Amino acid sequence: MKTLFSRLASLFGQGDGATPAPPIDANTDLASLPKTINVQAAAALKARKDVLLIDVREDWEYAQGHIPNVKHIPLGELSSRLAEIPKNKAVILTCRSGSRSAKAFSMLRQNGYDNTHNMAGGFMAWQKSGYPTK
């Protein structure tokens, strides 16, 4: 059971289960970020110049509401728009719930974007947490 908890905790950026992960804030070393981060971490990091938040939802979903100052690249266009994504920044991906952004995460990793992260829970979790939306 502890192994299952540890795996789930590491997937959601919560450390190994035995030792809590240090909090992620605006001063966090981006190289130490887990592959999956929570909305609180994304909110703390999104204003940094070395971080790019990308929403991979469809146009109509994005138009209904999105995170302010997020780059919008629908998942179906991602492979043809890689040139718009700098490799010298940490990339945080989001969608509605975290499923499509996980696919985008895999695609970017396969294309050499090593500092790429998926935001767990997506836009739904962002809204539920009370962060601003447009």
Task: State the residue for tokens 């990339």.
Answer: 91
Q: Which string of DSSP letters, residue by residue, matches 47-91? A: TSTTEEEEE-S-HHHHHH---TT-EE--GGGGGGGGGGS-TTSEE
Active-site residue, selected from the candidate residues 44, 95, 102, 104: 95
- Whether 95 is a known active-site residue: answer yes
The string of pLDDT tens digits covering residues 35-47 is: 999 999 999 999 8
What pLDDT digit, counting tens, does each position of 7-63 carry? 444 444 444 444 455 677 778 888 888 999 999 999 999 989 999 999 999 999 999
32-128: CATH, from 3.40.50.300, 3.30.70.1350, 3.40.250.10, 3.40.140.10: 3.40.250.10
Instruction: Parse the chain into domains and list their residue ranges.
Output: 32-128
